[in-house]
C-alpha cells in the first residue's frame, strides 16, 4: 500500500505566490515606444508574496527626492510626426489662395464666337445616310 504524505510546511512559510499583473496597455508595449527587438513579457513568472518588501518599496518611493534639473526626454517618432503634421496644416491654412480676396479676380468674358442665323451644328443624316441605307428600301 502506497502512502502519500502532504509536504511539511511551517506556519510562517509562504505557499502561494502573487498573481501576475497583466498590464495589457503598458507604455512599453506601444509600437512607438519599442526600441530594438521586441520581447514578449512572461506573465507566468511568479514571485512569492512579500508584503514587507512592498511596504518598504512604497516608503522608499515616497521619500525619493525629485532631481533639481529636469530630465531631457527625446521625442518619439510619433511626436515628431505630429509636430510636422501640425506645421504642415498651419502652412496650408495660411496659403495665399485662402487669404486673398476673391472679388478682385477677373472673370473671362463670354465667348467671342458669333453664330450667324440658324445654322445647324451637325450635318443632316440624309446627306450622309450610311452604308446600310440602301437595304432599308427593301424592307
Q: Residues 13-45, buried b or exposed e (16+ Cβ, 10 A)?
A: eeeeeeeeeeeeeeeeeeeeeeeeeeeeeeeee
Model pLDDT for residues 124-139, shown as the tens digit of each residue: 656 556 778 778 877 7
The C-alpha cell 502519500 sits at 4
Residue 44 near residue 22, CB atoms below 8 Å: no
Q: Which long-range contacts (CB under 8 A, 24 or more apart) does 27-36 make?
A: 32/76, 32/77, 32/78, 33/76
Whether the model clears a pTM of 0.75, i.e. scores above it, the answer is no
φ, ψ dihedrals at 75, nearest 5° = -75, 140
One digit per residue, the tens of pLDDT, for the chain of length 139 reads: 677 777 777 888 877 777 766 666 667 667 788 888 877 777 666 555 555 555 445 555 555 555 566 667 788 999 999 999 999 999 998 888 777 776 665 666 666 666 666 776 766 656 556 778 778 877 7
Amino acid at each position: 500500500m502506497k502512502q502519500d504524505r502532504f509536504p511539511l510546511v511551517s506556519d510562517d512559510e509562504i505557499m502561494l505566490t502573487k498573481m501576475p499583473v497583466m498590464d495589457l496597455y503598458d507604455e512599453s508595449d506601444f509600437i512607438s515606444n519599442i526600441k530594438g527587438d521586441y520581447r514578449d513579457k512572461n506573465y507566468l513568472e511568479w514571485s512569492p508574496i512579500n508584503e514587507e518588501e512592498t511596504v518598504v518599496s512604497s516608503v522608499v518611493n515616497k521619500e525619493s527626492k525629485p532631481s533639481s534639473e529636469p530630465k531631457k526626454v527625446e521625442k518619439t517618432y510619433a511626436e515628431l510626426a505630429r509636430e510636422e503634421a501640425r506645421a504642415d496644416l498651419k502652412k496650408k491654412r495660411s496659403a495665399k489662395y485662402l487669404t486673398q480676396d476673391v472679388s478682385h479676380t477677373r472673370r473671362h468674358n463670354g465667348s467671342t464666337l458669333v453664330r450667324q442665323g440658324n445654322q445647324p451644328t451637325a450635318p443632316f443624316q440624309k446627306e450622309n445616310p450610311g452604308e446600310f441605307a440602301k437595304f432599308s428600301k427593301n424592307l
